[in-house]
Amino acid sequence: MLIKNPEQIRASEITPEAIYLDRRRFIQRGIGTALLTAIPASLASAASRYSTTEELTRLKDITRYNNFYEFGTSKGSPGIHAGALSTHPWSITVSGACEHPGNYDLADLIKAAEVEERIYRLRCVEAWSMVIPWQGVPMGKILKRFAPTSKARYVAFRTLLRPAEMPGQRRDILPWPYREGLRMDEAMHPLTLIATGLYGKPLPNQNGAPIRLVVPWKYGFKSIKSIVSIEFTESEPPTTWNLQGPDHYGFYANVNPAVDHPRWSQKKERRIGDIFKRPTLPFNGYAKEVASLYTGMDLRKHY
């Protein structure tokens, strides 16, 4: 896997990263958030118990090394082309087995006051990884408002279909629109996040603006970007990469170093920015939190 040569970093990119790192040092030294008057309130929240303290991946890498096939298949394409996507206004259609289906405006769905910070590892099936400081709302909090019924066993998500602004959708790269899904208990798990920002700023388009899913114990392809539809279903919903390669990409896609992908060994990963590979951890290091969701399941079969 080739990593692009470092480019000039724009000042607008340096600022939030520097503020972020300063803030983390303050919090780690226990100085507290009250002193951080120069920093917006949204950045000054206390660290979540779900956040890792590992070194953050640089903003430049998070926003220049992407998978977002709607904007092309190379890692640099989303950073170049996604700026053309218009994300205002943005509404989300909620349907299926719930008491409050409808068309919701994004601002009504995500209240600024509820947004929290989560620093998570992201592990791509292509054997690279990052550490990303997300802002967002636990998915369960949002889903509860739609009052899913007892028939809701899964949640299905869809990305925007807009070939005029998404050049990749004019080509037969994947079955569009991009679809993903989770079992209800996975969607309601406190680690599962609807992200609205990273590094204290609204989500860059290439990272899935204005909202994307983040499921840190699963391979990155489960973390669907630019969501416009949420549907509660009784049966397991079809998902894009599983449709594309049923033998290669399962519905569950839990990070599992014991099950290799035909193209990539999953035993190790390269943290973007590092030279040497590191071992990949079961459930991407979140086994304590999520392994019990899969008790009794053969995770070689349900890959």
- Site residues for ligand MTE per CB under 6 A: 66-70, 122, 124, 159, 178, 207, 220-221, 223-226
Using the minimum distance from each CB to ligand MTE, give the nearer residue, 152 or 160.
Answer: 160
Using the minimum distance from each CB to ligand MTE, give the nearer residue, 43 or 127.
Answer: 127
Residue nearest ligand MTE, Cβ-based: 220
**CA atoms of 289 and 168, how far apart (whole Å):** 36
Structure tokens at 57: 């991946």
Cβ 274 to ligand MTE, closest distance in Å? Answer: 16
Cβ 218 to ligand MTE, closest distance in Å? Answer: 10
Using the minimum distance from each CB to ligand MTE, give the nearer residue, 68 or 199.
Answer: 68
- Evaluate whether 268 touches 258 at the Cβ level (below 8 Å): no
Using the minimum distance from each CB to ligand MTE, give the nearer residue, 59 or 122.
Answer: 122
Cβ 125 to ligand MTE, closest distance in Å? Answer: 7
Cβ 178 to ligand MTE, closest distance in Å? Answer: 4
Using the minimum distance from each CB to ligand MTE, give the nearer residue, 110 or 203.
Answer: 203
Cβ 52 to ligand MTE, closest distance in Å? Answer: 16
Using the minimum distance from each CB to ligand MTE, give the nearer residue, 43 or 130.
Answer: 130
Give residue 205's identity as a one-letter amino acid code. N
Cβ 121 to ligand MTE, closest distance in Å? Answer: 11
Using the minimum distance from each CB to ligand MTE, give the nearer residue, 104 or 221.
Answer: 221
Cβ 153 to ligand MTE, closest distance in Å? Answer: 23
- Evaluate whether 199 touches 16 at the Cβ level (below 8 Å): yes
Cβ 114 to ligand MTE, closest distance in Å? Answer: 22
- Evaluate whether 206 touches 197 at the Cβ level (below 8 Å): no
Using the minimum distance from each CB to ligand MTE, give the nearer residue, 44 or 132.
Answer: 132
**CA atoms of 204 and 62, how far apart (whole Å):** 10
Neighbours of 208 (CB within 10 A): 25
Cβ 110 to ligand MTE, closest distance in Å? Answer: 18
Quick one: three-class SS letters along the chain? CCCCCCCCCCHHHHHHHHHHHHHHHHHHCCCCCCCCCCCCHHHCCCCCCCCCCCCCCCHHHHHHCCCCHHHCCCCCHHHHHHHHCCCCCCEEEEEECECCCEEEEHHHHCCHHHCEEEEEEEECCCCEEEEEEEEEEEHHHHHHHCCECCCCCEEEEEECCCCCCCHHHHCCCCCCCCEEEEEHHHHHCCCCEEEEEECCEECCHHHCCCCEEECCCECHHHCCCCEEEEEEECCCCCCHHHHHCCCCCCCCCECCCCCCCCCCCCCEEEECCCCCCEECCHHHHCHHHHHHHHCCCCCCCCC
